[in-house]
Chains A and B, each alone.
Chain A
Amino acid sequence: MTTLLAFDWILLIEKLILIAIIVFASLGIALYTTFAERKVAAILQDRPGPNRAGPFGLFQPFADGLKLIMKEEIIPNTANKVLFILGPGLAMTAALMTCAVIPWSTSVEFFGRKIDLQIADINIGILYIFGVVSLGVYGIMIGGWASNNKFSLMAALRGASQAISYELAMGLSLIAVLMLSGSLSLKAIVEQQQAPGNLWNIAYQPLGFIIFFICALAECNRTPFDLPEAENELNFGYHQEYSSMKLGFYLFSEYINMIMSSAVMACLFFGGYDIPFFDESTLSPNIAALLGFLALFTKIIIFIFVFMWIRWTIPRFRYDQLMNLGWKRLIPLALFNMLLTGAIILWKQG
């Protein structure tokens, strides 16, 4: 570490490629998540859904994207220009930053080099995710304030206070998982669930998972917690003044958040890239990594489907109901879960 040259340059290139792949893959998947959302809505509402652009309407997301880009871009006269542009950028950045600590699969081997399919296995993985989530609030607040519109500002406050409130319960429900795993690294948590004789964390932490899931819904601004963008009754949201691709960025970052929180939930509670009832160690590393990634991907898709299912089934809460649920139900429940887990761990240790 004494000189610049002692640096492992191949590692840097490898990581850059990995980052590029993961970011572009997330964007691509998010693109098709918007399509899936419309299709799922259509199925649940018994109608065909988008089916004009390309076979089965598969080109619809590109058409939507093109439409957003080609639309006229309006920046309000009284808006704070710099912050108005910074807002959607921050929302998008915060959404994409989460992917850095998610273990996408086991390591693969190329040309005798072992490549971890995780950008950074830091020993504070979960806290990092929390840090990024708490920064996501700024995209909402800055966008809402910079629009210089009191309805946007109100919606931004609404959104930010919702995010802060549910972050608390989320953190408390995670502490129980951390007590079980004894590590903050997501990779270590996944490997622990994968180890023979261990069940997935959902078996030990069903209550914790339910709390975490509800909070994830709230953090992603999904129904029934989509008050920040309640377009019918609360006059749209913090992105009211936004048009064109800036609006697209806000809406798109929501989908990326959804993918990332699904990935985090899969890693924390559902064994990550673990394939159930199957011992991966008998396979060659590359095939095991591929299968592991497919397993994680399947779990993510199932979660995203559940997110959508809920969206098209349940109406949204009223704002006071939302705050009551967060502060008076979820936080005490999460504290109880934490105490219970701690007591059981102590009892088992004897």
Chain B
Amino acid sequence: MSTIQILFFFLSVLAIFSAIMVLISKNPVHSVLWLIAVFFAISGHYILLNAQFLAIVNLIVYAGAIMVLFLFVIMLMNLNADSEPRKHQWMKIAGVISGGCFLMVLISLVRQTIEITGKTALVKEGNIGLIKNLGKVLFSDFVVPFEISSVLFLSAMVGAVVIGKKD
């Protein structure tokens, strides 16, 4: 096994284990912390694919900002295991079924969009994930979607300010 394979398996196991822990942790704060571990593992995968910019932005945005807000909300809501209402059995089954359907849709989507069979990921090569190339592509080929999404962000920010404003 090469170093990269060892790293790949280590990161994959870490990601899957943490993802399972997110689901089965009783304490919501623990779930959030495990989710942060998932993001770390996924960033490790990005680095293996030589997409360092994506890796670090994933950490800064998700682990650094969004998860902090998650933690804020969960800590302030003060969810306790005993004060939480138990969900009905049927609700759980319905959740499993709808989640499974969603997973199936995702898998079929991935299978249809690109031909995966017989292809290997470019590990340690390919430099589209480097900041220079990514920036060039974003500001030339994909400039319209990029700008539209930035307008979307701006409107989200304005909306948040409007909602948060006391009058």
Contact = CB atoms under 8 A, between A and B. Distances in A.
A1 interface: yes
A131 B60 contact: yes
A123 interface: yes
A19 interface: no
Contact of A141 (B57, B59, B71): B71
Contacts of B56: 124, 127-128, 130-131
8 contacts: A1-B3, A83-B29, A134-B63, A138-B36, A138-B68, A141-B71, A157-B76, A164-B65
Contacts of B130: 123
A184 B60 CA distance: 15
B4 interface: yes
Contacts of A122: 52
A135 B29 contact: no
Nearest to A137: B68
B95 interface: no
Interface of A: 1-4, 7, 80, 83, 122-124, 127-128, 130-131, 134-135, 137-138, 141-142, 145, 153, 156-157, 160-161, 164, 184
Interface of B: 1-4, 6, 27, 29, 33, 36, 52-53, 56-57, 59-60, 63-65, 68, 71-72, 75-76, 124, 130-131
B2 A164 contact: no
Contact of A123 (B3, B57, B71, B131): B131
Given A145-B75, A157-B72, A164-B68, A127 B63 contact: no
A137 B64 contact: yes
A124 B2 contact: no
A134 B117 CA distance: 39
B65 A4 contact: no
A4 B3 contact: yes
Give the 3 A-B residue pairs with the shortest CB-CB distance, closest first: A134-B64, A131-B59, A127-B56
A141 B53 contact: no
B65 A134 contact: yes
Contacts of B53: 124, 127
A131 B4 contact: no
A153 B75 contact: yes
Nearest to B5: A4
B64 A131 contact: yes
A3 B2 contact: yes
Contacts of A128: 56
A127 B47 CA distance: 14
Given A130-B64, A134-B63, 14 more contacts: A1-B2, A1-B4, A2-B2, A4-B6, A7-B3, A123-B52, A123-B130, A124-B56, A131-B56, A131-B63, A135-B63, A138-B36, A141-B75, A142-B33
Contacts of B6: 4
Nearest to B64: A134
